[in-house]
Chains A and B, each alone.
Chain A
């Protein structure tokens, strides 16, 4: 092992690097500069984040003037990996013939995967921008039709996103 030349980090360092102090001063200078740069903090309750159209928040049902788009085919309920959706179909005199008598999403089970939206043939269930979901009991976490139906005007951005990219 006599002709092995060591090449350790301490041998590669110059004299000024070895006494550390100039390097420490450089490091301190860096952190001092950071202190005067703009801050990234968002003052949350006052200053809310508005997501883009691509954001997958709480799934909602699209409500049009003549009623909901949903035809109660049950595909969303079938595809849901977390078994969060329950649909019971009823008959109607409208052109679409079927409507959801009962439509429930258990938000304690939902994993926001967006499969329900992807599988829906009518674009009737879409992911909204709603990300502030708080419940004080398990029963409150199960959302019925009264909470799921959202007017189509509020969901335009998501529908346009789906048309462009799906």
Chain B
């Protein structure tokens, strides 16, 4: 790897990370706006037109606050937890396929995606969401507070339980595609129709488990305010709290993007239609790639809206209901989904060959 190569990759990473953090900050604004509209209010509208600079005001406020660390807390791990949370949340973006490459420098193609052709991308996503538990559990434990500890424990138990169903619901998609490479999965969907048509149950299971993985309502038990004050981030303040908060939203965007890529056809605009041939353009030409970015991101943000919409519509689950749903409903359903998908694929292969 040459020095220019390294610099380009660093710039690429900087752009991606900043874009995603700004997107996460704007999701906080979106959350406040959508919740306001659902409750017949207007929401923030004082900072900038339509309240558009509210996110910057929020982050700036957090940045200027005093950073308080509890006297009995383990300072090193208390400081490490938010870093793990945000680091893991951002790492997932490395494999999210926004669309094709944008520029070619010295014969090497670069796009928004850091690792577009990783052949185990789906596994990386699942692994990274699992590592996210460490940030939460560590934040709860190192704070040395009962509320934080209970929040962290609940959170890790919930995330570990739902990860299983999440992984199994993806297996159906992988069985159909025959690959773990997300780019190849999207290209197959563009040709054969989106996976939500073949895997509606898998999509619903993934959506529910994604809600639980990102600690969103109706599964937001780790931060159930009436019981646990603030959950695992009770003892956090200033930008450490801000990082935990941003990590939560970055996770939501990552889950939405993965869902868009695995089930909703990624950057493909209309299923069963070859858009490039219809418009008379090369599939890898710049207009097509830019259009792919727009389509992929609009799908992802539509799912983000669904996340927010669900949060302001449904009441919180009780802890035993949560565990019942995870282990007694979603896990058997996901296993049945795999069995049915596998059988159908075997039957089709038997008759077509």
Contact = CB atoms under 8 A, between A and B. Distances in A.
Given A21-B204, A28-B309, A34 B39 contact: yes
Nearest to B306: A28
A39 B40 contact: yes
A38 B312 CA distance: 18
B353 interface: no
A40 interface: yes
Contacts of B313: 24, 27-28, 30-31
Contacts of B310: 28
Contacts of A35: 34, 37-38
A39 B42 contact: yes
A37 interface: yes
B314 A41 contact: no
Given A21-B204, A24-B314, A40 B309 contact: no
Contact of B40 (A24, A30, A32, A40): A40
Contacts of B350: none
Interface string B288-328: 00000000000000000000011011100000000000000
B76 interface: no
A41 B42 CA distance: 6
Contacts of A41: 41-42
Contacts of B314: 24, 27
A28 B37 CA distance: 14
Nearest to B43: A41
A24 B40 CA distance: 20
A21 B40 CA distance: 25
User: What is the interface residue range for chain B against chain A?
Assistant: 10 to 19
- Which size bracket describes the interface of A in this complex? 10 to 19
A30 B314 CA distance: 11
A28 to B, nearest CB: 5
Contacts of B34: 35
A32 B41 CA distance: 14
Interface string A10-36: 000000000001001001101110110
Nearest to A33: B38
Contacts of B312: 31
Interface in B20-48: 34, 37-42
A39 B327 CA distance: 42
Interface in A130-158: none
A32 B39 CA distance: 10
Interface in A20-65: 21, 24, 27-28, 30-32, 34-35, 37-41
A37 B40 contact: yes
A34 B204 CA distance: 25
B309 A31 contact: yes
B333 to A, nearest CB: 11
Interface string A63-92: 000000000000000000000000000000
Contacts of A28: 309-310, 313
Contacts of A27: 313-314
A85 to B, nearest CB: 39
B41 to A, nearest CB: 5
Nearest to B204: A21
Contacts of A30: 313
A42 to B, nearest CB: 10
Contacts of A32: 309
Contacts of B38: 31, 34-35
Contacts of B42: 39, 41
A37 B310 CA distance: 18
A40 B41 contact: yes
B309 A34 contact: no
A40 to B, nearest CB: 5
A37 B180 CA distance: 45
A156 B351 CA distance: 92
A43 B109 CA distance: 51
A64 B321 CA distance: 71
Interface in B108-124: none
B132 to A, nearest CB: 26
Contacts of A34: 37-40
10 contacts: A24-B313, A27-B314, A28-B313, A31-B309, A35-B37, A35-B38, A39-B40, A39-B41, A40-B41, A41-B41
Given A28-B313, A41-B41, 14 more contacts: A24-B313, A27-B313, A27-B314, A28-B309, A28-B310, A31-B38, A31-B312, A31-B313, A34-B40, A35-B37, A35-B38, A39-B40, A39-B42, A41-B42
Interface of A: 21, 24, 27-28, 30-32, 34-35, 37-41
* Cβ-closest 8 pairs across A and B: A31-B313, A41-B42, A35-B37, A31-B38, A27-B313, A41-B41, A28-B313, A40-B40
